[in-house]
Every structure is written in C-alpha cells, then in structure tokens.
Structure 1
C-alpha cells in the first residue's frame, strides 16, 4: 500500500472472533487494541500477533475510547473496526490499492449476521459505516454511545466490497447490548433531553412497526421478530431509564 494504515479496535471479552479478525489484518502496518477489562483470553490472543499492540483503559464511553485508541497509532491513516468485524480479501485489496485522499472518509458496507445467518432486514441490509479516515482531518465525537466521526465538510466515499459483521450469536447477547446501550444513552442525556412514558411507548411501537413491517423483518422468521422486538425494547428502555434519571 502507498500509505501506511493503522487499524484501531476496542475489545472486551472478544475472543470468539478475534483470531479471524486479526488474521485478516496481517498486511496492515499496525493494529492498536484498546481493551477495557476483558476477563477471557482476548489479550493473550492479541499478543501473539506481531503487528498488534495492546493498551488497556477503563471504559469511558465509545467515542472517547475510540479517540484514545487513535491517539496510540503511529500513522495518520486510521481504519477503525469492531472486534467482531472480519475483512475479506477483496475488501483488503480495495483498501490497500486506494489512492487515499485526506479530504475523504471511506465508508464500508457491513454484511450483518445473527447466529451465522446473513440478515437483510430490520435496517441491517444497507449498513454503511464510516471507518477509514485521516486523523489530522477527522476525529470521533465524545458520545457515550452511537458515536460518529466529526466530518467538518469531509466527503464520504463508499467502498465496493463489504466486510462480515458477526453481530450476535443469541438472544442473550442482543439483550445484553440493549441494556448496556440504553443505560449509556440515559446517562449521557440526563437533564439534557426530556422523556415520558408516552414517548417511550410510542417510539418503541414505531420502532417495531418500522423494523418488522416496513423493513421486512417478517420475512426472516424468528430472527426478524427477535431483532425487531429487541430494537423496540432498546428504544423503550432508553427513554424509561432517562425518565428515571431526570426525576432524580
């Protein structure tokens, strides 16, 4: 590749897919892993790869954590991925052959899987994420959850090839993430946004109808129903938790 790229990644108990993820990244100059309290063998696996450097830090929110990981990189070009995202050979070839333009952010399409099944419903089917950027031009915002890159007028270019995203293996993982994200949302927006039981119920109902009907979750059997219900629960509980925090 013409320009060296540093890969950055957050981990916590990420051992299930980590070897697949890191095996796909051997061509990159360095991989920065920022771990926040893994109790499995995530760190041990990461340390067996020559191009991987592991740092550890307590969890301070997704936006701040990702920006901290970027700060550890040697290179200005950053590829930010999750510990359950596997880059395929075609995508790596595309990335490494790009004439990287610092005025562009490059977006990658994710093929999202639930328990090994490719899901193309509930908003999972056209999932482009902005992941490749020059850190001199672009940074992560400070949001606790649903963080994003601050573009400041930078153009977004979509890449052709997707990556595999092994989102969830079971309902327990879906529920756990919903609980974590809804709590972070409530903490971040306490006294900043208003909430009510009506808002929680109405927005959750709209979320379910959108996912299950308009985004065709009904075509995917129990997986489509489960994802639609889980998304609606996440919406409901983030507003209920916010309501409770605002009352304190």
Structure 2
C-alpha cells in the first residue's frame, strides 16, 4: 500500500507535552492534519516544524462533530484518526504498509495504555480496540459530544494486530483535568434526556470503582491500578451528579417560563 492513500487527523488543544512524540511516529506519511481547538501553549508551533503536517484552527463542537470537520479537510478519503497522545508502534507502521485497503471496511487498532511509565493491562485498558481507519466516503464519526465512535453500519470490521502506544495520563493532574472535561460533556449531552440523582451518582461511582478494581483486575496493577479505578469511580460519580444539577436547572427554567406566561 502507498502511504499517500492515508491522511492522519489529530484534534489538539494544549497538547505540547505529547504531540511531538505523536508526530515523530507519523513522519513516513505524506499528510498529517492537525485541527486545533484553541491551544495557548506550544502545540501549533511544534506541529508546524514537521513538513508533512498541515495545521487548521477551529472551534470545538464536541468530539464527534469536530472529528468529522477535521476529516473533511483532509486530502485523502482514507482517514486514520489518531489522538495527540498516541504513538504508532513500528510494528503498526509496517502493518499499514502491507495493508490492502477495502472500501467497505473499518479497521480497529489495539491500544497499549501507559500510566506512570507502566503498561496497564487491567482496568479495562487492554486490549482496548478502537475503530481508527476508515473511508470517509463510506462512513464518519457519530455526533456524540464524548465517547464518539466511527459508525460501522454494515461495514466489515478488521482488527489490526499491532498496537498504538497511548500515554494519555502523565500524572494525577491529568486525571483530574480529564475528569472535569469528560464529566461536563456527559452532563451537557444528556441533560433533559436521562434521569439522575445524588443516589444514582453514588451508585454509578461505587460500581465503576468495583468493576475496574476487582472485576477488571485493577488490583493486579498495584498503585496504578488503584489510581485508575478510583478515577473511573470518581468520574462516574461526578458525571451523574453534574447531570442531576443540569436537570434541576432545566426544571427551574421550565417553571419560570410557565409562571411568566401566566
């Protein structure tokens, strides 16, 4: 396969800590498209030092819609969506080189997730297959604010054998900032459509920790497994607590609207 057939798309915002390693792993490809959503650090400056990288700037409309916007700007129909904290393994590059692309196929890639320099094989973090390579004339991302996915529809799914390396969380601060971001997006997306309560938030949070730490063997990953399981529980708790507050706000606004009409 000719590498010129694939465009890589990356959404960025303040990704200076990880974007260099990502772009280093993509130097053999002709087009890498960065779609930046308001970085205030060195992300764009770093990206522009690579000859195969094109940088666009635009607003963030939720992950699904923004991925589709980035895809529409690419030169090629074949899109490999990669995050700014992911690195193509040498094995995956070679596998892509040998790959014969089939239009009605979506290709899934396994991620090897790392935290604290350790590969996390528990907590649901492995094998962590993600749909990443697709033909934009045949499919696209869902419009979900968060937990977006490529629509597989009636497409055939093929699983590549070589991994992406994923270094999303460098320290505890990364967990906290992502918890804030993802819980807010979840509450915004589900406000008025899904019920919640403080007790429901507590139940979801407790079960998420139990599932990650015990059912998905987080206990076997030592300190890192405990931190990740705690993050999963706390994120679930705040997702539903924020949703409860947003639903309450909608109810209050609705009452005020009715009273004003009377």
TM-score, normalisation: structure 2: 0.92
Deviation at 1:9, TM superposition (A): 0.3
Deviation at 1:88, TM superposition (A): 1.5
Q: 1:247 maps to what in 2?
A: 248
Q: 1:98 maps to what in 2?
A: 99
Q: 1:73 maps to what in 2?
A: 74
Between 1:103-112 and 1:15-24, the stretch displaced more is: 15-24
Give structure 1 stretches of 5+ with no counterpart: none
1:87-131 deviation line (CA, Å, top 9, x unaligned):
011101111221100111100100000121111110002200000
- Give the whole-Å Cα distance in 1 for the aligned partners of 2:150 and 2:86: 18
1:158-193 deviation line (CA, Å, top 9, x unaligned):
001011000201111001101100000001111011
Checking the alignment, whether the CA contact within 8 Å between 1:4 and 1:28 is kept in structure 2 is: no
Q: 1:146 maps to what in 2?
A: 147
Based on CA coordinates, which of the two structures has the bigger radius of gyration? Answer: 2
Q: Is the aligned partner of 1:134 residue 2:140? A: no
Q: How well do the aligned residues superpose, as a CA RMSD in angstroms? A: 1.0
Give structure 2 stretches of 5+ with no counterpart: 250-262
- Give the whole-Å Cα distance in 2 for the aligned partners of 1:197 and 1:136: 44
- Give the whole-Å Cα distance in 2 for the aligned partners of 1:185 and 1:221: 29
Q: 2:170 maps to what in 1?
A: 169
Q: Is the aligned partner of 1:27 residue 2:42? A: no
Q: Is the aligned partner of 1:86 residue 2:94? A: no
Question: How many matched pairs?
Answer: 248
- Give the whole-Å Cα distance in 2 for the aligned partners of 1:185 and 1:222: 28
Q: 1:201 maps to what in 2?
A: 202
- Give the whole-Å Cα distance in 2 for the aligned partners of 1:113 and 1:238: 24
Deviation at 1:86, TM superposition (A): 0.4
Q: 2:227 maps to what in 1?
A: 226
TM-score, normalisation: structure 1: 0.97
1:217-248 deviation line (CA, Å, top 9, x unaligned):
11222211111011011111111100000011
- Give the whole-Å Cα distance in 2 for the aligned partners of 1:219 and 1:90: 27
Aligned positions of 1:180-191 closer than 5 A: 180-191=181-192
